[in-house]
């Protein structure tokens, strides 16, 4: 089990209304992305890509108490928790204080990348 640190790309928009986090690679069962908190960026869209060798399952999780570690799977906009066994997209309806990806199954050999677009819509001049 390894903890994969996220990289942050702030150069997406000139007004910093969108950031992108990237965790890579998650490769073995038990690998987790480090916890990230961007509370002002309530809308989060996760994209899971990569090589799914060894039948891995990726779970996108959130928690509100990082010390307690009350991690729970995030739900899609229909309220359904959606683990990934292949590439896919999750736009979560949940807005926890912290988020992370976790590889919950698999026999090894995977090389999975998870990106998260963080959207902030409360900046002055933003009209969606």
pLDDT of residue 124: 59
pLDDT of residue 29: 93
Q: What end-to-end distance do the CA atoms of the chain give, in Å?
A: 41
Task: List the structure tokens of 62.
Answer: 């959130």
pLDDT of residue 123: 62
pLDDT of residue 39: 86
What residue has token string 């009350």?
70
Q: Closest by alpha carbon to 117, among 48, 14, 26?
A: 48
SS3 13: coil
pLDDT of residue 125: 56
CA 42 to chain centre: 13
pTM above 0.85, yes or no: yes
Q: Which domains does the chain have, with CATH numbers?
A: 3-119 (2.60.120)
For 10, which DSSP code? -
Burial (CB count within 10 angstroms: exposed 0-12, middle 13-18, buried 19+), residue 4: buried
pLDDT of residue 44: 94
pLDDT of residue 128: 46
What are the mean pLDDT values of the chain's consecutive 10-residue runs (128 residues total)? 96 91 96 95 95 95 95 94 94 94 90 96 58
CA 72 to chain centre: 12
Cβ within 8 Å of residue 36, ≥6 positions away: 6, 21, 98, 99, 100, 116
């Amino acid at each position: 089990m390894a903890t994969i640190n996220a990289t942050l790309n702030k150069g997406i928009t000139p007004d910093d209304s969108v950031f992108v986090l990237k965790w890579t690679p998650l490769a073995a069962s038990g690998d987790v992305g480090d916890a990230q908190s961007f509370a002002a960026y309530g809308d989060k869209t996760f994209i899971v890509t990569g090589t799914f060798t060894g039948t891995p399952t990726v779970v996108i999780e959130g928690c509100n108490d990082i010390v307690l570690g009350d991690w729970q799977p995030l739900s899609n906009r229909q309220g359904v928790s959606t683990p990934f066994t292949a590439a896919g997209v999750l736009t979560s309806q949940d807005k926890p204080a912290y988020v992370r990806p976790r590889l919950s199954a698999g026999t090894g050999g995977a090389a999975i990348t998870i990106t998260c677009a963080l959207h902030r819509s409360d900046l002055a001049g933003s009209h969606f």
